[in-house]
Chain A
């Protein structure tokens, strides 16, 4: 009874944070495949069309089914997230909705387009000419990019708010649309995350075929399905290291407390060591861990004299707690460590590819490659933890605290909702994984007897299988392909305009990235003043 009253009286802050973290962490698992798998599928389809390779077409068709399954789950978890902004953080949206909401409004648009074009892509396999089908599919990657840039615009606003004028009580009184959408953090968050989605999707797909190799499947199908996504992901991995490094260094100026937490730096100083692992204690000392003298300073400004910001440069009430700083630090180390492992795997792959002029043949390589998918997921999650926990105690950096944004609902309510959500999410995970495994088994059997069927049939966005036993089967099928072709061409034209928009977005981001680099360089040159 005592426990129950304690439970009911508790504020909703802790369960709300846990629930948001849980649902976001779950949703982030689905994002890489949602954003990047269409591009890999199209690449495979393009190869199939260009080289007249039926195996490539078969792979693309099967990937498109997985794409639809995970998109369906992502649609569900995404809808939950949008409601959670109201249920858990009503005051955040009340104050900053006018600015923060804009990115989500654009994401809503991108989401519709993705849903519709995934549907058309799946239905189109048997109904459209290969070239038309491929061209229509080209709408998917830009829609994914648009979704990514708009969600990250909202997240960047939380990290580096700008473009708004605040009134006396802190409410938003005017909004500069471009200023609030393209805040400083967007330049690095966008590239860092977009590349991460392509790497993760590539490695996760390739890792499945790496397992197939270990199990003894070594035909043309397996080689193609492994090599294409693995090569793309491997090419992008070094780029991610560079962009990640730029992002971290930009934080020195943009969010010094977050940077200090990532590096567990207590006091602002030059000759700051880089601590790998290790935990900060209450008195500001780091226990355990491997310390490389002056290396953090060198990483920031290429000189041991560079000043690294410390946690104490920010008042205790405005910086992460010791526990939060440790979580941020360990998550950051995990991300960097996994990224470096990815680079090592990349080097291994390309050395074999360039010197032996064939794919690697070693069990060790495929063992490592089969872990690359899960490793990338872990890196994405760690990166997400780094940026979110490192921003604490702010929900909008320096403007609104998480504790001021939380719902006034009783803690018990949020705890109950959280428990139900955990159960529901577990069910969704089990069902989705069962579905994919079932599909995989069916495809393996089909390949063994060389009798492939239409894989997209019965998938969440796919054509329906004929199930009515005594329907009028004589129903006439009018020639529709003409209409489809016309509409397809119309849509592609519409998307040409849309593509220009995307290019504009990318150009603006590049400009932003340039600005960040310039500013970072200025920061690096600053010598210790104290």
Chain B
């Protein structure tokens, strides 16, 4: 009973991380393009589109992060302790980036004028790069087996910054820019801005190529450092997801390049989701490779039952409301009524 529930809880944790990677990815990706937009009237138009597209849903994304945290510390207390004891520098930076970003975005409207806007844009852009990089680096550090049970047994810096963690971080950045560009193509279409459609199409195609290159390099690095993990990704439980990512990535680039505006957003979600799933399933049943399995780390039955109830409530109450929000947004119903 405990084991089965612990597996469910572990899956919920993986789903929360995936949801954050996808929803946060769209969001951070837009921030990255905001930063890379440069100067000039085209850049201004791109920034306006980004600002406009992100406004209503940015806050909802943090929901997944908070969910991942509470599921982790209630469901797998020992995992939570070990991960934070070894990787606190990564989380501290990601956290600061996240709050700066949230604060600056929420109150962007206080400042007006292009100068203030671009100042905000810099903070916004830098934090959009730092947060996904450092969060993904933490996953990479876990995957590399450098997080010790309980207190760290190697230097914290070595646990945080190593070839695997940096590869994870870079793949995450590329994937973030990729999914961000793909969704901005959709937003430009939705807001009826043909020039912006082309602007973000180019960026989506370029970031597809970058993602493929960085992904290949990262796989090589993981293979050198951690043959077990690569094996599990290529021939184990992670295989279907790795395959899905490998197939979907070029497909998105192709669809957007050929102006076939169908399925490309869904497929880019599939890409990011499969990357996370490929990692998660490849290292199961271990939460900390070689040291701590799901069953070993599971909290007592009572806590797992409560978590299941909360998860069920999230599914019943939060998902429909979130769906309503996204639906209204996509229908353009969240625009100002006076317009």
A interface residue numbers (CB < 8 A to B): 72-73, 75-76, 78-80, 82-83, 85-87, 90-91, 93-99, 101-102, 104-109, 111-113, 115-117, 119-120, 123, 126-127, 172-177, 180, 407-409, 413, 417, 420-421, 424, 427-428, 431-432, 434-435, 438, 454, 457-458, 460-461, 463-473, 475, 477-478, 480, 484, 487, 490-491, 494, 498
Contact = CB atoms under 8 A, between A and B. Distances in A.
B66 A108 contact: yes
13 contacts: A79-B66, A79-B102, A91-B85, A93-B81, A101-B303, A113-B317, A120-B324, A127-B333, A421-B96, A460-B106, A464-B335, A490-B320, A494-B316
Contacts of A123: 328, 334
B254 interface: no
Given A83-B69, A86-B88, A105-B310, A112 B80 contact: no
B209 interface: no
B59 A105 contact: no
Given A102-B74, A180-B302, A409 B314 contact: no
8 closest A-B pairs by beta carbon, nearest first, are: A94-B81, A472-B192, A101-B74, A97-B77, A86-B84, A98-B299, A175-B302, A466-B339
Interface string B38-65: 0000000000110110011001101101
B224 interface: no
B337 interface: yes
B37 interface: no
Contacts of B70: 82, 101, 104-105, 107-108
A432 B96 contact: no
B71 interface: yes
A90 to B, nearest CB: 4
B338 interface: yes
A101 B73 contact: yes
Given A82-B69, A177-B306, A463-B337, A431 B110 contact: yes
A465 B336 contact: yes
A463 B81 contact: no
B310 A106 contact: yes
Given A105-B306, A466-B339, A471 B192 contact: yes
Nearest to A465: B336
A53 to B, nearest CB: 22
Interface string B313-339: 110111011101100100111111111
A378 B242 CA distance: 55
Given A105-B310, A108-B310, A408-B85, A80 B99 contact: yes
A90 B80 contact: yes
Interface residues of B, number: 78
A430 B336 CA distance: 27
Contact of B91 (A87, A117, A180, A432): A87
Nearest to B334: A463
Majority secondary structure of chain A interface residues (helix, strand, loop or mixed): helix
Given A108-B66, A480-B333, A468 B313 contact: no
B85 to A, nearest CB: 5
Interface string B93-117: 0011011101100110110000000
B98 A79 contact: yes
B302 A174 contact: yes
Given A76-B99, A79-B62, A417-B92, A85 B192 contact: no
A477 B299 CA distance: 50
B335 A463 contact: yes
A94 B80 contact: yes
B62 A109 contact: no
Contacts of B321: 112-113, 116-117, 120, 491
B102 A109 contact: no
Interface of B: 48-49, 51-52, 55-56, 59-60, 62-63, 65-67, 69-71, 73-75, 77-78, 80-85, 88-89, 91-92, 95-96, 98-100, 102-103, 106-107, 109-110, 150-152, 156, 191-193, 299-303, 305-307, 310, 313-314, 316-318, 320-322, 324-325, 328, 331-339
Contacts of B51: 467
Given A102-B74, A468-B48, 11 more contacts: A76-B102, A79-B66, A87-B91, A90-B80, A90-B81, A101-B299, A105-B306, A108-B70, A173-B300, A175-B299, A494-B316
B20 to A, nearest CB: 12
A297 B275 CA distance: 66
Contact of A93 (B80, B150, B333): B80
B305 to A, nearest CB: 7
A505 to B, nearest CB: 14
Given A72-B106, A127-B337, A172-B300, A408 B151 contact: yes
Contacts of B95: 79-80, 83, 87
Contacts of A94: 77-78, 80-82, 150
A270 B325 CA distance: 62
Given A72-B106, A79-B98, A468 B77 contact: no
A98 B338 contact: no
A428 B99 CA distance: 9
Nearest to B101: A76
Nearest to A87: B88
B98 to A, nearest CB: 7
Contacts of B334: 123, 463-464
B99 A108 contact: no
Contact of A420 (B96, B193, B318): B96
Contacts of B56: 119, 461, 463-464
Contact of A79 (B65, B89, B324): B65
Contacts of B192: 471-472, 475
Contact of B84 (A87, A108, A180): A87
Given A180-B302, A458-B109, A477-B332, A112 B63 contact: yes
A181 to B, nearest CB: 8
Given A83-B95, A172-B300, A468 B52 contact: yes
Contacts of A112: 63, 314, 317-318, 321
B27 to A, nearest CB: 14
B85 A102 contact: no
A98 B69 contact: no
A95 B70 CA distance: 15
Contacts of A83: 69, 91-92, 95
A174 B193 contact: no
